[in-house]
Structure 1
């Protein structure tokens, strides 16, 4: 699978400009002939407007679904639409939508681990389910930013059969080393491909660090971005997953009778 990661510099609290830019970047990425294009976290607003967050949100994801359904069908490409600040009937969520080549929204995921350090849990509701889906016959999973710190989540997804993990984020400069190490570790320990897509630029007072990457199951970067807006593209040879698991079979050698997670 050929994947393009769009490391977007969004404009804080300006959905109109962000939707326009997201479409432009998707069209640019499509010229590299990927199978799948991925955007970062909360690209419609930046992370995140604490005041009047509702006024900047996508109501029920309607605008996002309309735009990316049309784009994925027109461009014949799968799209992981990053995530958006999304107001549902029950409250505010941080939501990602996934679209196949035919323009169908095949899955969605509400961020399950909210970043209390920046008060995300005071403004958003927690998602209550994990999400897997198939793109071109390959089983995939998606998580959002802070989720990457919760190894139990990613192991659960891999036990459900995923071979690619998409990580969409707004990860800040001071902890960018954590971003790199955590994504590489999740690829190695779960023997999966990881497409981790961060934003760059400034949202509010926070500077985001880029360094998006496409990582193989050995933890090696196939390609990595810098810290400014750019599109990176690389190829995932899915057959490698089974070969690695046949060589170092951690799934067969696990001792589940000894593990107790509370």
Structure 2
């Protein structure tokens, strides 16, 4: 099975300007396609911006809203699947969500962030209730998660046990927590034997300073691609053959003793 070339869009876009951020996704998809990428991943709440206060609810859209339609057209136009972060409106509730659109423009999966970080998120969003959301893409089982979710080991282990090969994690990681990108994410990939695409915002936004360092971590615990602190589009390969070999050699999941851990859940 061929590797899936994956593009990580490290950018904060233009907070509060959905049209500008849709245009940025169009440009990134076009650039990703020229490199042979089959998947483009953008950061948490890329569609609207993160630190925009109550405007996040005003700009929220349904999962099948106008922005989804526009991004589906972008994906189909360039033949690149797109995962994007956005505020999702469902009736009176607003969720911090990520949606995966296939390279043919089909909506493949939508995930609502389950672990909300800090006062801003807890005031603006309703937490999701489904830890494991997956889709099939290019022969891989792709899982979805958002930022703070990946810092809970039980969350990522649930994906491992469900067969996730590539975990997409749009994020808004801020100073002083850059150790998550540098250390936690590669360890999560290693201990769960999967690829993890952790894609961050960058630069100042409101009261926050986003640290960049977007990372594609492999099942060997190494960063297969890593951005710096500024705007960037970096690429890495998700190799199914390497993943299979790594899983055969690494005994972590085989040597688990779930009966000993019952008290943890």
Same fold (TM over 0.5): yes
Shift of 1:14: 2.4
Number of positions where the alignment pairs a residue of Structure 1 with one of Structure 2: 260
Gaps of 5+ in 1: none
- Tell me how far apart the structure 1 counterparts of residues 169 and 154 of structure 2 sit (CA, whole Å): 15
Aligned to 1:28: 31
How large is the RMSD of aligned CA atoms in angstroms?
1.5
Aligned to 2:83: 80
Q: Is 1:46 matched up with 2:46?
A: no
> Secondary structure at the residue paired with 2:50?
coil
Aligned to 2:10: 7
- Tell me how far apart the structure 2 counterparts of residues 90 and 99 of structure 1 sit (CA, whole Å): 25
Q: How does 1:121-132 map to 2 (within 5 A)?
A: 121-129=122-130, 130-132=132-134
- Tell me how far apart the structure 2 counterparts of residues 55 and 236 of structure 1 sit (CA, whole Å): 37
Aligned to 2:69: 66
> Secondary structure at the residue paired with 2:44?
coil
Is the 2:12–2:43 contact (alpha carbons within 8 Å) kept by the matching residues of 1?
no
TM-aligned CA distance change 1:18 to 1:101, over 3 Å: closer
- Tell me how far apart the structure 1 counterparts of residues 140 and 55 of structure 2 sit (CA, whole Å): 40
Gaps of 5+ in 2: none
- Tell me how far apart the structure 1 counterparts of residues 166 and 55 of structure 2 sit (CA, whole Å): 36
Aligned to 1:209: 211
Q: How does 1:1-262 map to 2 (within 5 A)?
A: 1-81=4-84, 83-115=85-117, 117-129=118-130, 130-260=132-262, 261-262=264-265
Stretches of 4+ moved more than 4 A in 1? none
- Tell me how far apart the structure 1 counterparts of residues 195 and 32 of structure 2 sit (CA, whole Å): 20
What's the TM-score, normalizing by structure 2? 0.93
What's the TM-score, normalizing by structure 1? 0.94
TM-aligned CA distance change 1:125 to 1:46, over 3 Å: same
Is the 2:51–2:208 contact (alpha carbons within 8 Å) kept by the matching residues of 1?
no
Shift of 1:107: 0.8
Shift of 1:59: 4.4
